[in-house]
Chains A and B, each alone.
Chain A
Amino acid sequence: MNQPRSSEGMSLIVKTVCGWLKGFILLYGIHIILYGHLTPGGGFAGGAVAASAFVLVMLAEGEQTGLKTFSRKAASTWRSAGALLFLGIAGLGLVLTGTFFANFWTGNESGGFGSSIQACELGIGMLVCSSLYLVIVTAVPAIKKQERPVKGEAP
């Protein structure tokens, strides 16, 4: 990922800054997802932040590198896994207590780590992150096909 591809993506400055920032943005998104039951945020917010990290990589280093970092197939898998995790927690409530979406694992009352809410947030975060990334990945080639000679960045 570190060898500069001069043919695609943006300039070396943008690529270098992106290389420093992408990890922090992704980490921030994961933090928002995992601590959503204690601090502001949650699955939707954290998933959107994490998706913006992948979108940054795709914009700065070009589509090839972006798709190498997080491929379409991987994104589809993560999306389905997140949805299944969310539904699985809901169904587990049905199995364990007899009510769909029952909160069967409340964790400790001070809001510690590990609860069914947190598991749901993880599922939603995976779903939102890969869905928003897939929106960009799917739409940008379709736009490019219409506007063949135009590069995405304004000169």
Chain B
Amino acid sequence: MPEVVVALILLMIVASLVAIETPNLLYSVVSVGAVGFLLSIVFLFLAAPDLAITQIAVEVITLVLLLRATAGARHEPASDNRSFFSATVAVAMVVVLAIFSVRMFAEFPEFGQPVIDRFADAPSNTYLRDGLEKTGAANIVTAVLLDFRAYDTLGEATVLFCAVLGAQTILRKKARKQPDEADEEVES
């Protein structure tokens, strides 16, 4: 199983490189979509179907939005002259991040060995053991999301609510007093 995951991740890296390097904006967007769909398959192989469903549905909507935004957009290539200073800073940041990552990954447990195995009194063990009779939900992910960690879900829902509210407020076409559905034609 990990070989399949590694192969999928390599494909994702290739797709993201294509997305960065291709001169065509449409190809770039399609490559970004490919990364998202491959990520969904990776979630499936890592036994996280909840995440896979969410990822694929959100990816479709994001792709639609990106395609709409980039179709017919004028292609202006980014200027190629980077200053020596910013390039040096970027490389230095990557090196520092790599050093920290090596230290951090050394602390990671083996693939497929959950961290909660090390700690017998971790709260996660309680969730897994008593989740069904305490919440009545057979899907432990939902039980954690909406019972043990419901405040997090409330925060997520609030973020989504406020983000869409803000987008609606900023991007609306007319002032408030116009009727809402009568003027869907976009006047330029």
Chain A residues with CB under 8 Å of chain B are 32, 36-42, 44-46, 48-49, 51-52, 55, 59, 63-64, 67, 71-73, 76, 79, 83, 86-87, 90, 101, 103, 106-112, 115, 117, 120-121, 124, 127-128, 131-132, 134-136, 138-145, 147-154
Contacts and interface: CB of A to CB of B under 8 A. Distances in A.
B73 interface: yes
Contacts of B133: 109
Interface in B90-113: none
Interface in B67-95: 67-69, 71-73
Given A48-B57, A67-B181, A150-B71, A111 B138 contact: yes
Interface in B131-177: 132-139, 141-143, 145-147, 150-151, 153-154, 156-157, 160-161, 163-164, 167-168, 171-173
A45 B132 contact: no
A16 B145 CA distance: 39
Contact of B54 (A44, A107, A143, A145): A44
Interface residues on B, range: 35 or more
A115 B137 contact: yes
B58 A37 contact: no
Contacts of B23: none
25 contacts: A40-B50, A42-B142, A48-B53, A48-B58, A55-B60, A67-B181, A67-B184, A76-B168, A109-B133, A112-B136, A117-B137, A121-B142, A124-B157, A127-B157, A131-B161, A131-B164, A132-B58, A132-B61, A135-B167, A136-B65, A139-B171, A140-B68, A148-B186, A150-B71, A152-B67
Contacts of A38: 137-139
Contacts of B3: none
Interface residue SS majority, chain A: helix
Given A41-B53, A45-B50, A143-B68, A117 B143 contact: yes
A36 B139 contact: yes
Sort A-B residue pairs by CB-CB distance and give the 5 closest, nearest first: A150-B72, A48-B57, A40-B49, A111-B138, A106-B136
